[in-house]
Structure 1
Amino acid sequence: MASSKKDHIAQGALRAFAQYGFSETSMDSIAEMAQVAKGTLYYHFSTKEELFLYVIEKGVNMLIYHVDTAMQKDELSLEDRMMNVLDEHLRFFSENQELCFLLLSFFTGDEQRDQMVGKLLTGYFTTMETYMIDLQKQGYIRADAEIRTVASALFGMIGFTVLRKQFRKEPVNSEAGRNTLKYLLAGILQTK
């Protein structure tokens, strides 16, 4: 039960952070968004910073899980696996709009907090880079492609595309948009 209440508070905090930014979000506004008493909020999280890091960590871990699951479908061809990874990013970012916004604009102005968020995102990038290095060793990704840049570009390409479509109230997962991202991704792939 406590975990459920904690996650409910985290959802309210995510909405508040996405709407107001870290600096302008208060514990009062989080309690209001989560529709909980301040005592309940402070029972689960002693500070706004602790809550912020919990929200980011939970979101990044969720992204890692979904992308890793898509990458592990070895029964599929390389192209189909890469499309699964692309589709999983599109689905994840479109279903988690506030989290997408926070992950793509996480700098809060506090160097220590920003480094903590950066470390949390490192788990995602390590997962992606490990997968891509393996594909590169197998000859599926161009040998001259710098994998860190590829992983960063994939994250940014999909994340910012989704954000822009959300802001413009356009469908996120259109066939034309998906195909365009596929063409961009295909530029680093090569057939064996």
Structure 2
Amino acid sequence: MASSKKDQIAQGALTAFAQYGFSETSMDTIAEVSQVAKGTLYYHFSTKEELFLYVIEKGVKMLIYHVDSVMQKEELSLEDRMMSVLDEHLRFFSENQELCFLLLSFFTGDEQRDQLVGGLLTGYFTTMETYMTDLQQKGYIRADVEIRTLASALFGMIGFTVLRKQFRKEPLNTDAVRETLRTMLAGILDKRC
């Protein structure tokens, strides 16, 4: 259950945007999916664009928080931390499939809006790149691995795996999926460490 009307609207908007896309989603549709009166919707958000950006920003901040909390577990070895980051992405995207879909297909056709969404995702990528650069400097990630590509690949690898499993109605967070992704990620690790 949503903790506030604003959260209820954001969840309804996320569902509507993921199902219909930005262009095909109207404020009326969002009010209906959110089960709020149009006046309540407009009290919290004056435009569909404002609401869309709020939903994306809230989701990206939530992803950063969850991944960062795993990265800060200094009691884990570097390898266990890296694998925990992968597991946290898989768990997060599995539990937030609509957000996953929206983040992986955010281009709306409006250049200014797309740049704003891209800017919101920059926070996530900066967090991941900082973490991975630190691991690379400590010799844990191979020196020949380009960190920006690695951060993008991790995001896409897990996100698209979750989307494909979702569309095929297959189990998402299984040992087989996790081990396959871990094996792929292990290829970037420096075997000397």
Q: Partner of 2:67 in structure 1?
A: 67
What is the rounded CA distance, in whole Å, between the counterparts of 1:188 and 1:131 in structure 2?
14
**Structure with the higher helix share, 1 or 2:** 1
Compute the TM-score of the two structures, normalised by the length of structure 2. Answer: 0.97
Per-residue deviation at 1:62? 0.0
Count matched residues: 190
Kindly provide the CA deviation profile for residues 110-144 of structure 1, in whole angstroms up to 9, marking residues without a partner as x.
00000000000000000000000000000000001
Per-residue deviation at 1:83? 1.5
Per-residue deviation at 1:174? 1.1
Compute the TM-score of the two structures, normalised by the length of structure 1. Answer: 0.97
The amino acid of 1:153's aligned partner reads A
Task: For 1:11-30, list aligned pairs within 5 A.
Answer: 11-30=11-30
Q: Partner of 1:46 in structure 2?
A: 46
Aligned structure 1 segments of 4 or more residues deviating by more than 3 angstroms? none
The amino acid of 2:21's aligned partner reads G
Q: Partner of 1:84 in structure 2?
A: 84
Per-residue deviation at 1:104? 0.3
Q: Partner of 2:152 in structure 1?
A: 152
Per-residue deviation at 1:82? 1.2
What is the rounded CA distance, in whole Å, between the counterparts of 2:67 and 2:170 in structure 1?
24
1:32 aligns with 2:32: yes
Q: Partner of 1:175 in structure 2?
A: 175
Structure 1 window deviating more from structure 2 (72-81 vs 134-143): it is 72-81
1:166 aligns with 2:137: no
Q: Partner of 2:108 in structure 1?
A: 108
Percent same amino acid at aligned positions?
A: 85
Kindly provide the CA deviation profile for residues 35-79 of structure 1, in whole angstroms up to 9, marking residues without a partner as x.
000000000000000000000000000000000001111111112
What is the rounded CA distance, in whole Å, between the counterparts of 2:42 and 2:187 in structure 1?
49
Aligned with 2:139: secondary structure?
Answer: coil
Q: Partner of 1:126 in structure 2?
A: 126
What is the rounded CA distance, in whole Å, between the counterparts of 2:71 and 2:172 in structure 1?
22
Name structure 2 gaps, 5 residues minimum: none
Per-residue deviation at 1:4? 1.3
Name structure 1 gaps, 5 residues minimum: none
